């Protein structure tokens, strides 16, 4: 069922060539008897925008929890730029940037204070952190509001700050868990545009979890996760070709066997 990932990625650390941004290999996870992830494998090369597509409850958040080491992965392996998250958690987390689904900024603190706190969590000294805060906020177009409180921002702006924050320690791999949920169309496009820009300009590997199919573009790597299993990995043309569908939405419906597209609209 899983895609035939080539094993050239697995001994990533040994190869002199640059390892992939993210490798998830044969990871399963269960809460009690409930299997949430079943032998999940996926690879996000550098400079790739990968869309993790799945309905609510597909296991996306659990996968993110394992990659960010909220839980230990019991089976399989997870590598971030070649570093195994279980054996070298420090090195792996240093190279990883995360935007969580829930809002995690301190509303009462200013944008800059939020970013400085995050920089400290990565051991970055204060003067360097201030330099990077300006730089990161410029990337997301909010440099002029550095001293405002987060409380005064709109939902889309707060998301952009969270992206800026995740860039403070210059990660090579970026995870975003449903970052556009609850945003209006304009904000959504702006957030997606910023992240796509990072992939193109800085060569980041991005894993973007969503249930919104219209966020896919032609060049993205698509990973369909359904009920804990990876049902498809590949680009959009292949997605349409294998399923014989006309649109990504239909293809998703065929692959997952779900009749209702309401959820995936």
Pairing of strands 173-177, 96-99: parallel
User: How far apart, in whole angstroms, are the C-alpha atoms of residue 80 and residue 68?
Assistant: 10
Residue 103 or 184: the one with the smaller Cβ distance to other proteins is: 103
Residue 54 or 179: the one with the smaller Cβ distance to other proteins is: 54
Q: What is the dihedral of CA 241, 246, 247, 253, to 10 degrees?
A: -80
Residue 185 or 257: the one with the smaller Cβ distance to other proteins is: 257
User: How far apart, in whole angstroms, are the C-alpha atoms of residue 116 and residue 191?
Assistant: 22
CA 68 from centre of chain:
11
User: How far apart, in whole angstroms, are the C-alpha atoms of residue 45 and residue 8?
Assistant: 12
Q: What angle do CA 35, 38, 41 make, to 5 degrees?
A: 150
Residue 102 or 185: the one with the smaller Cβ distance to other proteins is: 102
What's the closest the beta carbon of residue 21 comes to other proteins, in angstroms? 9
What's the closest the beta carbon of residue 131 comes to other proteins, in angstroms? 14
What's the closest the beta carbon of residue 157 comes to other proteins, in angstroms? 18
Residue 11 or 186: the one with the smaller Cβ distance to other proteins is: 11
Residue 123 or 262: the one with the smaller Cβ distance to other proteins is: 123
What's the closest the beta carbon of residue 186 comes to other proteins, in angstroms? 26
Could you identify the residue written with the tokens 């997870």? 78
Q: How much helix, strand and coil, in percent to the nearest 5, is found in the chain?
A: 35, 25, 40
63: region left, alpha or beta (phi > 0 left; psi from -120 to 50 alpha) = alpha
């Amino acid at each position: 069922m899983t895609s035939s990932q080539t094993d050239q990625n697995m001994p990533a650390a040994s190869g002199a060539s640059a390892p992939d941004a993210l490798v998830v290999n044969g990871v399963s996870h269960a809460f009690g008897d409930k299997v949430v992830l079943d032998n999940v494998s996926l690879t996000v090369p550098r400079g790739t925008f990968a869309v993790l597509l799945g309905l609510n409850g597909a296991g996306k958040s659990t996968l993110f929890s394992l990659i960010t080491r909220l839980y230990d992965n019991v089976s399989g392996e997870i590598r971030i730029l070649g570093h195994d998250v279980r054996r070298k958690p420090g090195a792996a987390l240093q190279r990883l940037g995360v935007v969580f689904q829930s809002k995690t900024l301190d509303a009462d603190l200013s944008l800059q204070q939020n970013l400085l706190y995050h920089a400290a969590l990565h051991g970055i000294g204060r003067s360097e952190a201030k330099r990077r805060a300006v730089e990161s906020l410029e990337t997301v177009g909010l440099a002029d509001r550095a001293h405002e409180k987060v409380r005064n921002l709109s939902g889309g702006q707060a998301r952009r700050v969270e992206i800026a924050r995740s860039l403070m320690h210059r990660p090579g791999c970026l995870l975003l868990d449903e970052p556009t949920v609850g945003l209006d169309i304009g904000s959504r496009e702006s957030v997606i545009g910023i992240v796509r820009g990072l992939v193109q300009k800085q060569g980041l590997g991005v894993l973007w979890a969503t249930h919104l199919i219209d966020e896919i573009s032609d060049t993205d790597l698509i990973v369909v996760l359904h009920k804990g299993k990876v049902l498809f990995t590949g680009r959009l043309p292949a997605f349409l070709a294998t399923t014989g569908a006309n649109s990504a939405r239909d293809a998703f419906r065929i692959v997952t066997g779900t009749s209702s597209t309401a959820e995936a609209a």
